[in-house]
Structure 1
Amino acid sequence: MIKIKLVCATGVSSNLLVDVLKRKAAEKKVDCEISSSSSMNITDAVNSSDVLVLGPQYGYKLDEVQALADGKCAVVTLKEYEYSSIEADKIVDKAVEAYNAFKK
């Protein structure tokens, strides 16, 4: 099971997207657990996830988060246009691809 954590500045906007991501993952038959977190809990998110998906409002911290996550989990960022329920299937794909690349 892939543990995917969607991280944004406060955790509020990512929380809205989590339900849609769960439905899309189920449709794609991806065995995963998807949750959200605020950036204030980034250390816990790194330690409890296989993939961190950073919302666009937190993407500017990519280098810092990648350094923190080094060897612990994969990290991807979303662009503004990707951060919506319309793009949910692509977000799931992006997280799975990052996980597979990380596990190699």
Structure 2
Amino acid sequence: MKKIFLLCSAGMSTSLLVNKMKEAAKSQGYEYDIAATSLANLKDIKDEADVILLGPQVRFDKERVEEEVKNIPVDVVDMTAYGMMDGKKVLDQARKLLGEL
């Protein structure tokens, strides 16, 4: 099962978005392990992740995260989708990074 991580400052602001993404995945018949955590936990999760999405508030760390995780796709969550808590749109963003769309 593919593992999608959303990272933000504390892992709390992305928790609601994770729930919305899980709902979208279930309604579309996809199975993903989706979780939110703090950017500070990157070292703990990088070996598990298939894709990493950063909350807009930590977008300035994208280059550092990419350097640390090497071959794992990393992107910043679309700011509009984040603000609207659009789980489907963010799930589609992760699926594109996984090469599924």
TM-score by length of 1: 0.87
Alignment RMSD, CA only? 1.5
- Percent of pairs with identical residues: 28
Equivalent in the alignment of 2:77: 78
Name the CA distance, whole Å, in 2 between partners of 1:65 and 1:2: 19
- Residue pair 1:17, 1:84 contacting (<8 A) in 2 also: no
Structure 1 segment 1-104 matched on structure 2, within 5 A: 1-71=1-71, 73-100=72-99
User: Shift of the alpha carbon at 1:43?
Assistant: 1.4
User: Shift of the alpha carbon at 1:79?
Assistant: 3.4
Q: Which of 1-10 and 79-88 deviates more?
A: 79-88
Name the CA distance, whole Å, in 2 between partners of 1:21 and 1:80: 15
User: Shift of the alpha carbon at 1:45?
Assistant: 2.4
Point out 4+ residue stretches in structure 1 off by more than 3 angstroms: none
What amino acid is aligned across from residue 22 of structure 1 in structure 2?
Answer: K
Structure showing the higher helix proportion among its residues: 1
Deviations 1:62-83, CA, capped at 9 Å, x for gaps: 1100111112x21111132121
- Residue pair 1:54, 1:76 contacting (<8 A) in 2 also: yes
Q: Which of 78-87 and 45-54 deviates more?
A: 78-87
Gapped runs of 5+ residues in structure 2?
Answer: none
